[in-house]
């Protein structure tokens, strides 16, 4: 009886890692990203703001609306040609071409700004989604490891009970197993809660659409490698992050040009029509009782130069700030790519060491302690400790691989494309 239980224990002890049965890896992640981009309310809101800005761009560059002014006199005004009952005046402001051009430029840059904000938001959310999906995958793997450990401990408990009846074990070994089982139960509950939290956050990011069936259950090797990547050769000029800063700079430049145009005199033209009633008595001249009309022109001259000087200094400072911000963002982006790539390389090296060196050593130590235990030359505690060490090494390996995949996703966000 003891021999059968011991065989069962060691069969489970060296049970190879369970393979995940759901092959949803890259396609699942791509589908989640597609759903987020089409259903996320923040992205949809940004796209609506982009559409609104585009419509405003189409409405800019026009002359101001004409003004129609109608006067009706309750008591007619006596004029040389007869009583004036009413008049109508139409006036039109005439902006300078430079003013219209500044308005057009400002609207175009504002529309571009909204478009780039949407692209930048999509990059940020894509990275957030990938990070959470990879974390979910890590927790899934750890939960599986804990389940395997639980099965093994339950079988080990039976083995120890059998040995206890034969006087070859003690109650302390049973207590030790019970403590480990309690730890595993608590760890599995914690993992389950964390996975539930990730699913809830991903569902919220997907606009409330359930994506549980799309979550991957195995690690795709594409997430762990970057081929032919040279940080110094990456062209970041078209990155939405920098484009956003450049659009702000161009918008500040257009504001400056618009402010300078305000110093120009404002021109206007008008045409008026005067209704003249027939006179009560005959009046000399052929124009008696005839309606009259007139043409007019106006000019508004800005005379408070100090006010315009202050406004121009303000827009000039905004432009300078935007230019400096663009330079700094370019430096930050380049530094972020370099540093993140070095972290990725380091994580890849650590993963390789764990897979090729540390993991085989931990498994060999467990194998040796098992053989010694069967021969009565190794204590129970050593076997249990070595098995726990194998589980820890497996957890550390998946943690580092997930970190590696997350760093690759971060690099993709920083370069603005998939690698």
The pLDDT tens digits of the residues spanning 231-256 come to 667 777 777 777 778 788 887 877 77
Domain boundaries, the chain: 2-276+292-415
Query: Strand pairing partners for 300?
Result: 266
- Kindly report the average pLDDT of the chain as a whole number: 78
> Where does the pLDDT of residue 279 fall: very low under 50, low under 70, confident under 90, or very high at 90 and above?
low
Q: Strand order of the sheet with strand 266-276?
A: 67-79, 82-94, 266-276, 292-300
CATH topology for 2-276+292-415 is Outer membrane efflux proteins (OEP) (1.20.1600)
Token pair 């080990």 is found at 156
Token pair 């894509």 is found at 126
> Where does the pLDDT of residue 286 fall: very low under 50, low under 70, confident under 90, or very high at 90 and above?
low
| Interstrand relation of 67-79 and 266-276 (parallel, antiparallel or unpaired) | unpaired
Average pLDDT over residues 286-298: 73
Question: Of 376 and 343, which is predicted with more confidence?
Answer: 343
Does 190 have pLDDT greater than 90?
yes
Instruction: Report the alpha-carbon distance of residue 148 to residue 395 in Å, rounded.
Output: 13
Query: Strand pairing partners for 92?
Result: 269
pLDDT per position as a tens digit, 158-175:
777 777 777 777 778 788
> Where does the pLDDT of residue 17 fall: very low under 50, low under 70, confident under 90, or very high at 90 and above?
very low
Instruction: Report the alpha-carbon distance of residue 304 to residue 300 in Å, rounded.
Output: 12
The per-residue pLDDT for 164 is: 75
> Which of 297, 293, 299, 298 lies closest to 272 in space, CA to CA?
293
> Where does the pLDDT of residue 53 fall: very low under 50, low under 70, confident under 90, or very high at 90 and above?
confident
Instruction: Report the alpha-carbon distance of residue 260 to residue 103 in Å, rounded.
Output: 12
Does 100 have pLDDT greater than 80?
no
Contact yes or no for 259/84 (Cβ under 8 A): no
Instruction: Report the alpha-carbon distance of residue 409 to residue 130 in Å, rounded.
Output: 7
pTM (two decimals): 0.72
**CA angle, residues 229, 341, 356, in degrees to nearest 5:** 90
Contact yes or no for 217/20 (Cβ under 8 A): yes
Contact yes or no for 142/194 (Cβ under 8 A): no
User: Greatest CA separation found in the chain?
Assistant: 144
The per-residue pLDDT for 325 is: 80
Instruction: Report the alpha-carbon distance of residue 254 to residue 261 in Å, rounded.
Output: 10
**CA angle, residues 77, 83, 89, in degrees to nearest 5:** 70
The per-residue pLDDT for 193 is: 93
């Amino acid at each position: 009886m003891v021999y059968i239980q011991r065989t069962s224990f060691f069969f489970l002890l060296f049970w190879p890692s369970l393979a995940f049965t759901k092959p949803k890896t890259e396609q699942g992640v791509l589908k989640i990203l597609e759903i987020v981009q089409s259903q996320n309310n923040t992205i949809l809101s940004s796209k609506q703001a982009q559409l609104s800005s585009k419509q405003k761009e189409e409405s800019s560059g026009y002359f101001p609306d004409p003004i129609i002014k109608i006067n009706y006199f309750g008591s007619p005004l006596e004029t040389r040609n007869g009583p004036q009952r009413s008049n109508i005046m139409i006036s039109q402001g005439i902006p300078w071409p430079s003013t219209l051009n500044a308005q057009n430029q400002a609207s175009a840059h504002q529309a571009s700004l909204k478009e780039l904000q949407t692209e930048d938001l999509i990059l940020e959310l894509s990275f957030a989604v990938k990070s959470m999906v990879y974390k979910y995958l890590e927790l899934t793997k750890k939960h599986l490891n804990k389940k395997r450990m639980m099965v093994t401990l339950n079988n080990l408990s039976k083995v120890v009970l059998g040995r206890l009846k034969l006087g070859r074990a003690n109650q302390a070994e049973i207590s030790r197993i019970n403590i480990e089982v309690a730890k595993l139960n608590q760890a599995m509950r914690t993992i389950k809660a964390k996975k539930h939290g990730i699913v809830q956050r991903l569902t919220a990011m997907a606009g409330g659409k359930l994506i549980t069936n799309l979550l991957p259950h195995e690690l795709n090797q594409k997430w762990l490698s970057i081929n032919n990547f040279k940080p110094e050769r990456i062209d970041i000029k078209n990155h939405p992050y920098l484009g956003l800063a450049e659009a702000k700079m161009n918008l500040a430049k257009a504001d400056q040009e618009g402010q300078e145009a305000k110093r120009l005199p404002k021109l206007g033209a008008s045409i008026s029509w005067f209704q003249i009633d027939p006179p009560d008595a005959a009046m000399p001249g052929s124009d008696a009782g005839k309606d009259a009309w007139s043409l007019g022109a106006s000019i508004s001259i800005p005379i408070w130069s100090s006010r315009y000087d202050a406004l121009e200094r303000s827009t000039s400072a905004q432009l300078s700030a935007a230019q400096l911000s663009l330079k700094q963002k370019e430096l930050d982006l380049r530094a972020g790519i370099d540093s993140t790539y070095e972290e990725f390389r380091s994580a890849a090296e650590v993963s390789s060491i764990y897979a090729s060196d540390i993991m085989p050593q931990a498994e060999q130590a467990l194998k040796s302690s098992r053989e010694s235990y069967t021969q009565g030359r190794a204590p129970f505690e050593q076997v249990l400790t070595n098995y726990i060490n194998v589980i820890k090494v497996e957890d550390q390996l998946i943690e580092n691989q997930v970190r590696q995949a997350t760093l690759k996703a971060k690099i993709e966000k920083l370069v603005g494309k998939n690698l």
